[in-house]
């Protein structure tokens, strides 16, 4: 009897050992095939936690213009969008809103008197702007396709004025309530001192009616600096770590291809997902859209794009050079489930960096899924923006135009007299002009005047007015 | 007689010749803003001078004021013109004093197209004279001037003037009625 009990115990021990050995074998094979260190062992890839950039922070105006009801204007600091936005929220909240189409003359009449307007370089769907900023929902928003200017004037306190520049349409939203915040905002801004701007047409004695704002005198502390693209292909471990963010840590079914020119390609399956890391530091990722995807609107697509960017390096170089993002353009492709292509630019200390090639970050969202991602972010000399820098007088904006009149006609093919060429200017502002050859790693950033025409833009040294090249406008 | 005719012809030719006529203003220097005898409803005065040849210019801006009992008063363009006309005709005229608005500025350009610009802030209502002189070898060789009347901002237009208030009211009423029925 005892013999039988012992035999049973031995058999049970054997069974347990067999199970343990089987599991050990599976576990060891997992480590061996997956090239996983026990330190980071996990059955499931954990999503890293990031602080997501909100669409609200990107849908901001490119400039805010204060009119004091005279022939001069002032450019408000970037942070003044927040109190203006709060004023719009109060204006649109709680009361009955009415939308009315108005004429350009009516719009300009209000804006020529004490008023403030937020200008966007491209049209944003009003519904998206209202949604991301938490304005109380209203049916009037859908009556305006896109908005490129939002204005508020002292003369018509119950009206919020809108301009849809691409469609050359003007509207006003009328509220039955008496807004408080916007009139207070306007009054407060009129009391602040800042450099005066005049319209280009005013400088030229009214020969042309160009409304591009030009400062009489401008002081800046912008200085040249250097940038360097980060070639990850030389650091295989770092590249693998970056690639893991696209394919997961196990690299299951991912092939790695190294081309003769140094380009490294990661490919999932039969090309459903492809990551291309070029030797010049540019990284491109493409993904085949899934069948089950659903169409997402502007605001949701933008947030999906921002979430993706946050999880894939954000607006920061690998070595930690941090930039402020700027949404430069959003294009909609209605084919299929509808696709949004977002172009992001970079700012340093509030000044935009203007690159000669593609924008630094491009994301395409289709059916709620990121199907294309391009990243070209350089590290910059960390001394930029450190410490107090001396203010310098920028070259007279008007004389930059006058003294380069030949450049516009000879190099850019613009035709006409000086006044006729000047009348074609759409915008002028200081920026950092980035100069580098397409495949170069190193680049130089020069403080520059950027002069934008309808379909091209020219750059001139901010302090000497020397030409720094010209290029086609990238869809702004 | 023949000699006399030749002499008269030569004298007439000299008198009416453009080469000998004295041009007070420099054709390469134009005050583009403000335009002459214009009115600006602003407290900012923008002076813009277009120069189309390498030049040195001196720009001075003054306010033309009348002096009454040793007190200076701003005047209108009409008053200034009457005072100037009376002075030319040798009649009693109001004493006009040019009060400088800042120091005169000298500007030199070596380009074939350039602008001198200057902004004056908090300018009080009155008549202002912008005088531009072309300087060569320390001498004034040309000069030109424009007068501008600075006035206070016009009484602001009202909402009703800009927007058709009757139409807006009707629209508002109808919209409100529809919203009451169907919701916002």
CA-to-CA distance for B132 and A337, rounded, in angstroms? 66
| DSSP 8-state assignment for residue A289 | P
Residues of B within 8 A of A405 (CB-CB) are: 113
Q: What is the pLDDT of residue B158?
A: 62
Q: What is the pLDDT of residue A45?
A: 46
CA-to-CA distance for A175 and B184, rounded, in angstroms? 13
- Using pLDDT thresholds of 50, 70 and 90, give the confidence band for residue B175: low
Contact B113 A418 (CB under 8 A): yes
Q: What is the pLDDT of residue B184?
A: 47
Residues of B within 8 A of A97 (CB-CB) are: 184
Q: Shortest CA distance to B130 belongs to which of B109, B116, B110?
A: B116
Nearest to B156 among A100, A155, A174 (CB): A155
To 10 degrees, the CA torsion angle through A465, A459, A457, A431?
Answer: -110
Q: Shortest CA distance to A199 belongs to which of A316, A318, A81, A73?
A: A73
Lowest mean pLDDT among A257-261, A423-427, B23-27, B80-84: B23-27
Q: What is the pLDDT of residue B176?
A: 55
Contact A70 B41 (CB under 8 A): yes
Q: What is the pLDDT of residue B155?
A: 58
Q: What is the pLDDT of residue A41?
A: 47
Residue B177 has pLDDT above 60, yes or no: no
| DSSP 8-state assignment for residue B53 | S
Instruction: List the end-to-end C-alpha distance of chain B, in Å, as a whole number.
Output: 101
Q: What is the pLDDT of residue B18?
A: 38
Q: Rounded to the nearest 5 degrees, what angle is found at the Cα of A60, between the Cα atoms of A57 and A66?
A: 140
* H/E run at residue B146: strand B139-151
Q: What is the pLDDT of residue B90?
A: 86
B166/chain A closest Cα distance in angstroms: 13
Locate tokens 């058999």: which residue?
Answer: A11
* H/E run at residue B81: helix B77-88
List the single best residue of A115, A155, A183 to mutate versus B (max B Cβ within 10 A): A155
CA-to-CA distance for A144 and A141, rounded, in angstroms? 6
Residues of A within 8 A of B179 (CB-CB) are: 96
Residues of B within 8 A of A176 (CB-CB) are: 172, 176
Lowest mean pLDDT among A47-56, A174-183, B142-151, B171-180: B171-180
- Using pLDDT thresholds of 50, 70 and 90, give the confidence band for residue B14: very low
Residues of A within 8 A of B115 (CB-CB) are: 203, 396, 398-399, 402
Nearest to A202 among B46, B168, B179 (CB): B46
Per-residue b or e along B93-126, where b marks 16 or more CB atoms closer than 10 Å to that residue's CB = ebebeeeebeeeeebebebebbbbbbbeeebeeb
CB A474 within 8 A of CB A359: yes
Q: What is the pLDDT of residue A476?
A: 45
Nearest to A100 among B34, B168, B179 (CB): B168
CA-to-CA distance for A412 and A111, rounded, in angstroms? 33
| pLDDT-flagged residues of chain A (< 70) | 1-3, 31-50, 94, 292, 385-387, 474-476
**Cis link prior to B61 (omega < 30° from 0)?**
no
B112/chain A closest Cα distance in angstroms: 8
């Amino acid at each position: 009897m005892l013999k039988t009990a012992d035999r049973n115990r031995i058999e049970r021990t054997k069974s347990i050992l067999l199970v343990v050995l089987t599991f050990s074998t599976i576990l060891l094979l997992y480590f061996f095939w997956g090239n996983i260190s026990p330190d980071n062992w996990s059955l499931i890839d954990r999503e890293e936690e990031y602080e997501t950039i909100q669409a609200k922070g990107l849908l901001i105006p490119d400039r805010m213009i204060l009119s004091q009801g005279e022939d001069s204007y002032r450019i408000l600091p970037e942070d003044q969008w927040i109190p203006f936005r709060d004023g719009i929220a109060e204006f649109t909240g709680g009361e009955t809103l009415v939308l009315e189409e108005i004429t350009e003359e009516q719009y300009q009449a209000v804006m020529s008197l004490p008023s403030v307007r937020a200008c966007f370089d491209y049209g944003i769907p009003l519904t998206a702007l209202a949604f991301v900023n938490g304005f109380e929902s209203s049916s009037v928003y859908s009556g305006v396709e896109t908005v490129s200017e939002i204005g508020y004037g002292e003369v018509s306190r119950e009206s919020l004025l809108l301009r849809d520049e691409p469609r050359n349409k003007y509207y006003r939203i009328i509220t039955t309530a008496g807004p408080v915040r916007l009139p207070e905002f306007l009054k407060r801004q009129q009391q602040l001192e800042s450099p005066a701007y005049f319209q280009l047409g005013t400088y030229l004695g009214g020969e042309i009616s160009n409304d591009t704002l030009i400062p009489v005198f401008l002081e800046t502390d912008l200085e040249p600096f250097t940038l360097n693209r980060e070639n990850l292909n030389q650091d295989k471990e770092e590249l693998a770590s970056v690639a893991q963010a696209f394919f997961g840590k196990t690299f299951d079914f991912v092939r790695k291809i190294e081309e003769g020119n140094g380009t490294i390609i990661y490919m999932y399956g039969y090309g459903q997902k492809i990551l291309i890391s070029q030797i010049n530091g540019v990284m491109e990722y493409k993904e085949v859209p899934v069948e089950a995807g659903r169409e997402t609107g502007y605001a949701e697509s933008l947030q999906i794009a921002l979430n993706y960017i946050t999880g894939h390096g954000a607006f920061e170089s690998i070595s930690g050079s941090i930039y402020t993002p700027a949404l430069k353009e959003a294009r909609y492709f209605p084919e299929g489930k509808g696709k949004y292509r977002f172009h992001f630019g970079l700012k340093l200390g509030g000044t935009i960096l203007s690159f000669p090639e593609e924008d630094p970050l491009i994301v395409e969202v289709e059916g709620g899924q990121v199907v294309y991602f391009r990243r070209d972010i350089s590290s910059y000399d960390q001394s930029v923006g450190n410490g107090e820098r001396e203010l310098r007088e920028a070259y007279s904006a008007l004389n930059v135009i006058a003294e380069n009149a030949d450049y516009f006609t000879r190099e850019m093919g613009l035709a006409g007299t000086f006044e006729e060429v000047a009348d074609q200017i759409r915008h002028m502002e200081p920026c950092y002009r980035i100069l580098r050859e397409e495949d170069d790693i190193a680049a130089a950033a020069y403080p520059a005047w950027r002069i934008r025409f309808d379909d091209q833009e020219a750059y001139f040294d901010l302090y000497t007015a020397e030409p720094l090249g010209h290029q086609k406008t990238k869809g702004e | 007689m023949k000699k006399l005719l030749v002499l008269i012809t030569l004298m007439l030719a000299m008198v009416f010749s453009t080469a000998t006529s004295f041009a007070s203003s420099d054709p390469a220097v134009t005050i583009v803003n403000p335009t002459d005898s214009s009115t600006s409803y602003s407290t900012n005065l923008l002076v813009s001078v277009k120069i189309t040849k390498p030049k040195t210019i001196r720009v001075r801006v003054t306010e033309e004021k009348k002096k009454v009992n040793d007190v200076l008063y701003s005047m209108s363009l009409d008053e200034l013109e009457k005072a100037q006309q009376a002075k030319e005709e040798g009649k009693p005229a109001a004493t006009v004093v040019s009060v400088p608005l800042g120091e005169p500025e000298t500007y030199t350009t070596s380009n074939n197209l350039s602008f001198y610009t200057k902004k004056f802030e908090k300018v009080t209502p009155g008549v202002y004279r912008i005088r531009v002189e072309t300087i060569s070898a320390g001498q004034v060789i040309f000069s030109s001037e424009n007068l501008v009347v600075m006035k206070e901002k016009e009484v602001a237009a009202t909402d009703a003037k800009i927007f058709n208030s009757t139409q807006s009211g009707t629209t508002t009423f109808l919209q409100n009625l529809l919203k009451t029925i169907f919701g916002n």
